[in-house]
Structure 1
Amino acid sequence: MLVPCLKMNRALFSLGQMMPIARSLSRCAACCQVITNPEEIARIYRQLSLFPSLSSANVGPVITSQYGGKYSNIYTEWSQRELESNENVKFCKQYIVFHDDKSVVFSAPSGNCTKVQGVLLSRDAPSGEMKAVIRKSTVKGEENQFLEIWNKNMVKSINLTALKKHGKVYEDALFGCLVWSQSETHLLYVAEKKRPKAESFFQTESSALSSSVDEEGGLRSEKKDAVKGEQFVFYEDWGEDLVKKSSPVLCVLDIEGNNVSVLEGVPENISPGQAFWAPGDTGVVFVGWRHEPLRLGLRSCPNRRSSLYYVDLTGGKCEQLASDNSAVFSPRLSPDQCRIVYLENTLFGAHMQCSRLCMYDWYTKKTSVVVDVVKRPREDGFTGIYCTQLPPKCWSADSQQIIFACPQRSRKELLAVDINTGSVTSLTSTSAMGAWNLLTIERDLIVASCASPNCPPSLRVGFLPTRDSEEQMVWITLEESQTLPEIDWQILTLVPPSDQDNSQYPGLDFEALLIKPKEEKDGAKLPLIVYPHGGPHSVTVADWLLSPAVYCKLGFAVLLVNYRGSIGFGQDNILSLPGNIGTQDVQDVQFAVESVLKGDEFDRHKLAVAGGSHGGFLACHLIGQYPSYYKACVAFNPVVNLASMVCITDIPDWCLFEAGSDYTANSLYEPAVWEQMLSKSPVKHVSQVKTPVLLLLGEDDKRVPHKQGIEYYRALKAKQVPVRLLMYPGNNHSLPNVDAESDSFMNSALWFVQHLFE
């Protein structure tokens, strides 16, 4: 799902183009109370973009003070947009928490914030005595990666790039890891496999020589080992956000000897990741994803063939621990080192699904299902597990419970699962906050963040109640955020009309999140921006959302629709959509809009629609199926033609499955399949479009390549529909760069102003 926005100094050029329009619309501000001045819009965006978000936390060891009290230090990392420097600045904050192992007695900040620079991965040793950091740094104009060991000061720094044992270290959340052995003598991480140097067929022997320094300090020439004619060989990577990540290897650093070795025994046809040390440091447990026949995109796609493996360090033997006919991910070893829990999905089908929570007993070698797939919400309200990963630390101290955050309908809650009974308890069900995230749990001390559409993230801690206890979580706030009382939000439950019920999965409902200014000034009706999410198997939870918050401050209301097919509502809800995209999801969004408009606080003549990816697919469908209903449309990297997308995307299976066909990598598609994909696409209705459209495209998007947007742009130009296209170099599907985020927001806001108030 895409997040609108881009950079101020670049945005000023766009603002200059829009200034005459905005000035001509200034009269609208008096009648509708919507802010239309570009400088004021930019000021509000800048103000709200300053709220930081929490990315990680770590709890230090328990220390006993000279007076007998116990305390722990909590280290947290935050991220904040910096518009001037065009970067997401990372910084750390520390807190001290006095406790009695059951409750927090006192807590306070400890020291000032410190900027974190160049850190790719970091991990504290089990004892808390040392810290490992993988950092990138520029050496003589080239980027190098260093592995540093710290205690009170830096103990050592090893240039991994100079060792030439492997390629770049993987820092992503899907493959990447940095794990201490229990003995704290070795570190485990994942890096790209080293490839032999390639050279031209016409490389001469003299030019293939390199210089190095001999033992006496003199220069000597060495012949490079190179393979001729291999410079331009194509290597498949793992798709969107994993570009140039093709063949990962498991690497081990011997800290004392400064030696790095690449583990042998991993099958050539799998990519290892999410690794950790086996009990007793006897080997390494990891998830392995199959290469053949194709590497399909992995980001947000936990439905790829994968399994759990163990490689023995002594003999190099690799053993498969879990089923080979499913998708396995996010394994976590219990503190007592007896059990491994992991998530499991069915192969292919919906990219995001309701997952099983499975458990592997290290000593009995038996696998069990702790929590199964939930088809419909249970009587206790539990709707199933929907996670791309479990937190790195998610076990209770007694190794009997798993704690994680998970969407439950349109909220995100902290859940505790008893591994013996499979019972699920919400730790935040009584909270007024709409979204919780687990940062870590250590010795049953939970560190979490919480937020709502009118409240940026806050930091809280609390001790996990004991098993079978009826005690409620008691949360202590370490860092309070500023609530915006002028923004109101509510979750609407919607039941589609009987003629739109799904005959195969009847009786399903869905929800929408309505965010709006708390008070309408002078009785003026609010313009409404409709925002369906992408995926389609995703969800918008009641979290802090920058763009909707800014729109509310400008005087707009925003309706975020979790149509049928969204995660968090049960597996049946998800399965109801494939084969029905372009109809069921479109009808749900339109029904949500019409239901909201029955009230008298919204101006039905000032409706806009926006969305990214599949949300852009829906936005383009809505303006085609309901001509003139929406006065403005903004689409971020939208899917507009599944038939043309299937050959160029990193997820061709998505195009077929969502259109209603089965996917096999070696199938030759019949004409009927291409016709089916085309019939589900927004481009089918382009001849009916009258709404002005702004297209925002990432030039490096591998998921929905930018040619999709260009195809729609050309079709609209041919129909003489007002259309504008912005292309963002260096940005992928989510338009993640700060300048792309802020500029796309400014252009979107001014597009709405221009076309809703003309």
Structure 2
Amino acid sequence: MIMMEGVIGDVFRKFSSYPVPLSACVIAERSSTNTQNLNIMTEWSQCEMNRGVRLRYCQQWSLQCNQRTLENAVPLGPCINIHGELLSSHSPSGARRVVIWEANNHGVGHQYLEVWGCNGLEKSLDLTALNKHGKVYDDAQFACLAWSPCEDKLLYVAEKKRVGPLAQASFLSANESRGLVVLEEEDKNVYVEDWGEGLTGKSAPVLCVADLSKGEVTICTGVPPHISPGQALWAGDGNGLIFLGWWHEPFRLGLKFCSNRRSALFYIDLKGNCELLSSDSGSVLSPRLSPDRLWLVYLQGQVFGPHHQCLSMMLYDLQKRTGSVLVDVVRRAEKGQFVGVYDSLPLHCWSSDSEEIFFSSASENSKSVFSVERRTGRITPVYDCNTVSPEQEFGSAKLLTVMKDLMVMSCSSPNRPPSLMVRFVSNAENKEWIHLGETGICERFDWQSIIITPPPEEENHQFSGLNFGAVLLKPESTSKRVKFPLVVFIHGGPHSHFAAEWNVNAAALTKLGFAVLMVNYRGSTGFGQDSIDSLLGNIGSQDVRDVQRAVLHVLQSNAILDADRVAVMGGSHGGFLACHLIGQYPEFYRACAARNPVINAATLLGTSDIIDWRYSSIGLQYSFDQLPTPQALTTMLEKSPITHAAQIRTPVLLMLGGKDKRVSPYQGLELYKALKSRNSPVRLLWYDGDGHSLSKVETQSDCFLSVVLWFKQHLNMH
């Protein structure tokens, strides 16, 4: 057993240690008539298992270019550790870099803003000592760190300052106290809402401007009081700001992974005059300003319903103050056609002439890169991973940035860890992508992308004709007689998807001798809005049948898979489906592993940070004043795995996060008790300090080891 644990740990350690690119920045170094040097600065994440931390580092390259043709790429020295930085940003000129980081001084956490130039540290502000706001936001929902065009100011988002009980200030209003929230003595225990899972402690964001010449920080006034601002950027010549505002009245709903929250685009000048730019009845994200500062693109979706959806790309004319749809929602696409926008836009996504926007998005079983013309809305594939050709090296591609007309993207496959490729946006003579760094890592196992058509009896007649997908990973075979056990891996969401990209868990399982089937059931992103909508009201049935159909499909078409040794795993809605499958097909699956699964939607209703989804998932419209009815609770119960618990015979491993705000850990406990009372094999792992994603390094390692040992035990693998 100890030897087996060592092998499993070594594989997971190796696969987890492959670096993942997070962002990129391109800076022009020097140029002549034909030649130009570009510097690319990239930030990466890498797991360090010994310390149980996820490190961040910077790697730089110098690119020698001749008439927009890349001639050579040279790494500029070793990688640099930037672990501990919360946010960073290069100035428009590339001459300076700002960093916000946190340090512990005598047991007190302080946050600092530092500006670094070519000759060292130029400016340092102790943001905590200035006492203008609470902690700076560094999340993916609200955070920003933006230079003004003249590079003398910096824009970021932080928590509104909360002042403790002060007798002399208890009578002041919020405006009289300059926007500070003053708590009276008797109010110190008042509940403060936050923005849910992954955003604990983030409740009331404010826009902050650091004036570098004065060494001061000011809080922007004029933001409507019912709005929480974020994703801000400088407008025009730097006299105003554009930001997203999320409605937080009558109360906050979970925001992470949810693109369906009521929000709008606003402009505010530095005197506090605020103007609405977009519709105020939709959901918006990713505002991106063109290089000529005349155009703005952003993504827009509907409020409530599916918590993630196909989005429209909007174009806003800042001179005429008018908006239009540039890319519409795709209900469904013909084979080989564009299937819609599902992912956030890169921070820099415009061509230098402000004529094209570049983005990556889910596309069936892949992620691909596209461009759209500002004038016509014409969409062109830039790197289409669904096209089978000798030049197509990777299963998925994610665009990191477009700067100086150079595209930088992260590419990977299920058997190839991420690497970087670059290319100029338009070069009729040379459209070849250039690799940065090593690209030789390729694990010795196979994978394939599969499109599946449901049989007539499993059609959704309201949305007929929809296909769905899956990605199958198969270990390297040394003998024709060997049959591999199959692990069915189901994504959560449910409105997300598995791309044909590097996935540590799937790759490590395959390396250890399991075949892995990752299923994109109807309702997954990347297959059109009709597919997403088809799942509403059909959870626990349509998605369950799709997964089972995918499993039967690969078992019938792959003789090397062992139909008598099939296991299932998934988290959140994936755990919901895993538990449904072992209840609805009790003799089929030999082992199950579920992370923070939804077990009883009726009892989850009062504890989840996204209570709207509890209604939308069963086909009901949601409103803030909604109260549960017996009929609604009955439907939620009927669609839940707990109703099949008495039929479960499969050994179940449960992994629960004690701080999960999305799916209460008591959901898993409910199934645990139901199985224990029936003497059905079950094991529960409780991670007290972790949340819904079970994302801590040591948690992920322990979960993987536990899952593999569980599967090996119950699939009779030695």
Match of 2:52 in 1: 86
Matches within 5 A, 1:67-466: 69-152=35-118, 153-198=120-165, 227-314=184-271, 316-378=272-334, 380-387=336-343, 389-429=344-384, 430=387, 431-465=392-426
**Structure 1 residues 473 and 403, CA gap change in structure 2 (3 angstroms):** same
> Which letter maps to 2:521?
Y
Counterpart Cα distance in 1 of 2:687 and 2:158: 29
Match of 1:738 in 2: 697
Match of 1:220 in 2: none
Helix, strand or coil: the match of 1:367? strand
Deviation at 1:231, TM superposition (A): 1.9
Counterpart Cα distance in 1 of 2:138 and 2:67: 34
Helix, strand or coil: the match of 2:260? coil
Length-normalised TM-score, structure 2: 0.95
Helix, strand or coil: the match of 1:412? strand
Matches within 5 A, 1:494-513: 494-513=452-471
Counterpart Cα distance in 2 of 1:110 and 1:330: 32
Counterpart Cα distance in 1 of 2:604 and 2:142: 27
Deviation at 1:432, TM superposition (A): 3.0
Matches within 5 A, 1:575-724: 575-598=533-556, 599-724=558-683
Counterpart Cα distance in 2 of 1:101 and 1:373: 38
Aligned residues: 697
Determine which of 433, 436, 449 is the counterpart of 1:491.
Answer: 449
CA contact (8 A) 1:456 1:482 kept: no
Counterpart Cα distance in 1 of 2:183 and 2:36: 59
Deviation at 1:455, TM superposition (A): 0.3
**Structure 1 residues 375 and 226, CA gap change in structure 2 (3 angstroms):** closer
Superposition misfits of 4+ residues, deviation over 3 angstroms: 198-201
- Report which stretch shifted further, 321-330 or 515-524: 515-524
CA contact (8 A) 1:529 1:558 kept: yes
Helix, strand or coil: the match of 1:523? coil
Deviation at 1:482, TM superposition (A): 3.6
**Structure 1 residues 612 and 379, CA gap change in structure 2 (3 angstroms):** closer
**Structure 1 residues 350 and 101, CA gap change in structure 2 (3 angstroms):** farther
Determine which of 475, 480, 505 is the counterpart of 2:438.
Answer: 480
> Which letter maps to 1:415?
F
Deviation at 1:101, TM superposition (A): 4.8
Counterpart Cα distance in 1 of 2:34 and 2:299: 42
Deviation at 1:200, TM superposition (A): 11
Deviation at 1:485, TM superposition (A): 4.5
Helix, strand or coil: the match of 1:659? coil
Match of 1:546 in 2: 504
Counterpart Cα distance in 2 of 1:669 and 1:547: 38
Helix, strand or coil: the match of 2:367? strand
Counterpart Cα distance in 1 of 2:377 and 2:284: 19
Deviation at 1:227, TM superposition (A): 2.3
Counterpart Cα distance in 2 of 1:324 and 1:299: 20
**Structure 1 residues 536 and 249, CA gap change in structure 2 (3 angstroms):** same
**Structure 1 residues 525 and 200, CA gap change in structure 2 (3 angstroms):** farther
CA contact (8 A) 1:284 1:312 kept: yes
Counterpart Cα distance in 2 of 1:542 and 1:443: 29
Helix, strand or coil: the match of 2:664? coil
Higher relative contact order (CA 8 A, sep 6+): 1
Counterpart Cα distance in 1 of 2:275 and 2:659: 38
Deviation at 1:378, TM superposition (A): 4.0
Determine which of 483, 492, 500 is the counterpart of 1:534.
Answer: 492
Runs of at least 5 residues in structure 2 that lack an aligned partner in the other structure: 171-181
CA contact (8 A) 1:200 1:231 kept: no
Counterpart Cα distance in 1 of 2:669 and 2:288: 44
Deviation at 1:554, TM superposition (A): 0.8
1:424-471: per-residue Cα shift (whole Å, max 9, x none)?
1111125231111111111111111100001000111110116xx6x6
Counterpart Cα distance in 2 of 1:706 and 1:380: 42
Match of 2:178 in 1: none
CA contact (8 A) 2:34 2:66 kept: no
Counterpart Cα distance in 1 of 2:37 and 2:377: 33
Counterpart Cα distance in 1 of 2:495 and 2:34: 52
Deviation at 1:629, TM superposition (A): 0.8
**Structure 1 residues 472 and 668, CA gap change in structure 2 (3 angstroms):** farther
CA contact (8 A) 1:58 1:76 kept: yes
1:237-296: per-residue Cα shift (whole Å, max 9, x none)?
100111110000000011010010000000110000000111111211100000111200
Counterpart Cα distance in 1 of 2:58 and 2:658: 33
Deviation at 1:61, TM superposition (A): 2.2
CA contact (8 A) 1:199 1:230 kept: no
CA contact (8 A) 2:351 2:402 kept: yes
- Report which stretch shifted further, 691-700 or 417-426: 417-426
CA contact (8 A) 2:244 2:284 kept: yes
> Which letter maps to 1:102?
R
Deviation at 1:199, TM superposition (A): 7.5
Counterpart Cα distance in 2 of 1:53 and 1:667: 42
Aligned-pair Cα RMSD in Å: 1.7
**Structure 1 residues 365 and 68, CA gap change in structure 2 (3 angstroms):** closer
Counterpart Cα distance in 2 of 1:379 and 1:523: 37
1:373-420: per-residue Cα shift (whole Å, max 9, x none)?
001114651101111x21100001110111111011001001111121
1:37-83: per-residue Cα shift (whole Å, max 9, x none)?
22111122222222111111111123138x98421111111111111
Match of 2:174 in 1: none
CA contact (8 A) 1:200 1:230 kept: no
CA contact (8 A) 1:463 1:474 kept: no
Match of 1:725 in 2: 684
Deviation at 1:487, TM superposition (A): 1.1
**Structure 1 residues 704 and 482, CA gap change in structure 2 (3 angstroms):** farther
